């Protein structure tokens, strides 16, 4: 397998591999190793049906169904989340730095995002390395953060943003997760900083106002340029990220063009 690191902080491209067929055991092990080693792995020029996309992801764990986005247009494939920006849309899905669904008690292992349609230029995605975010803190700050627990919440909208349809109330439970601010990655055993500006609202046992200054510092610290890589997309690009050790940010720098991605997410 030909692995080309993207930049200093994280990310690699994996060349010469076809994701549409089951991976041989040693190839699968190498891809897993690259996922947890590089945290973000990028594949080019893939052609995946919905089933092939899901089957690729299933080799890494059970598939996750997003708790409140139903992606109605892909009926029969509830595990495939469509991430779409229409020509006339001004906003994108996932507007601020985040890890996915950290408002759940058990956040997910990672997501496999497959580009269907992309703008001529723009619409890249930034990723940031949360091991580096932790490692570069001072010993004093590390000690201060060690006992803290972050509360991650999301205001669940009344209608599905993807379809405009009202939610079944059943899907709305469990929109609050509590996670140690310094978390240990279950695969690598490494410590990482686990707060993000989209979902972490405060520290457990403290108010939102009390938490805000330190959280704001951590959000800025965690997403500085030196800790990031930038993935450029074309139709057929597949990016698989380790959702526990990274955050990501879609860049909303294109207008009047359509972008469509399919996301399949793997549970822990
Ligand atoms: C996501 C997401 C980023 C992008 O699918 O979780 O945040 O660039 N997408 O579309
Ligand atoms: Mn996201």
Q: What is the full per-residue pLDDT of the chain (268 aa) written as tens digits?
A: 899 999 999 999 999 999 999 999 999 999 999 999 999 999 999 999 999 999 999 999 999 988 776 555 577 898 999 998 999 888 877 789 999 999 999 989 999 999 999 999 999 999 999 999 999 999 999 999 999 999 999 877 777 666 677 666 555 555 789 999 999 999 999 999 999 999 999 999 999 999 999 999 999 999 999 999 999 999 999 999 999 999 999 999 999 999 999 999 999 9
Q: Is 239 in the pocket of ligand 1 (CB under 6 A)?
A: no
Nearest alpha carbon to residue 254 among 84, 85, 82, 94: 85
CB 111 within 8 A of CB 64: no
Q: How far apart are the first and last CA of the chain?
A: 25
Q: Is 125 in the pocket of ligand 1 (CB under 6 A)?
A: yes
Distance, in Å, from the CA atom of 147 to the CA atom of 141, rounded to the nearest integer, reads: 11
Token code pair at residue 153: 């919440």
119 DSSP assignment: -
Token code pair at residue 229: 């890589």
> Strands 110-117, 259-266: parallel, antiparallel or unpaired by DSSP?
antiparallel
Residue of the nearest CA to atom 1 in ligand 1? Answer: 94
Other CB atoms within 10 A of residue 166 CB: 10
């Amino acid at each position: 397998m030909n692995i080309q690191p993207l930049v200093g902080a994280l990310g690699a491209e994996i060349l010469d591999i076809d994701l549409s067929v089951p991976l041989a055991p040693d190839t699968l092990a190498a891809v897993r190793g690259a996922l947890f080693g590089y945290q973000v792995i990028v594949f080019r020029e893939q052609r995946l049906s919905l089933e092939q996309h899901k089957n690729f992801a299933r080799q890494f764990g059970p598939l996750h169904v997003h708790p409140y986005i139903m992606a109605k247009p892909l009926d029969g494939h509830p595990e495939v989340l469509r991430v779409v920006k229409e020509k006339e849309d001004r906003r994108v899905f996932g507007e601020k730095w985040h890890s996915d669904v950290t408002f759940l008690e058990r956040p997910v292992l990672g997501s496999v995002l497959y580009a269907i349609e992309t703008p001529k230029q723009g619409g890249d995605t930034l990723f940031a390395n949360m091991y580096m975010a932790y490692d570069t803190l001072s010993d004093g700050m590390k000690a201060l953060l060690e006992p803290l627990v972050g509360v991650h919440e999301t205001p669940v909208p009344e209608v599905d943003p993807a379809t405009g349809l009202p939610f079944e109330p059943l899907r709305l439970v469990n929109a609050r997760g509590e996670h140690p601010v310094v978390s240990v990655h279950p695969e690598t055993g490494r410590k990482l900083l686990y707060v993000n500006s989209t979902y972490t609202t405060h520290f457990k046992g403290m108010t939102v106002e009390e938490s805000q200054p330190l959280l704001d510092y951590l959000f800025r610290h965690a997403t500085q340029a030196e800790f990031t890589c930038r993935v450029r997309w074309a139709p057929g690009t597949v990016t698989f990220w380790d959702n526990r050790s990274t955050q990501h940010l879609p860049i909303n720098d294109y207008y009047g063009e359509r972008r469509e991605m399919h996301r399949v997410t793997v549970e822990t």
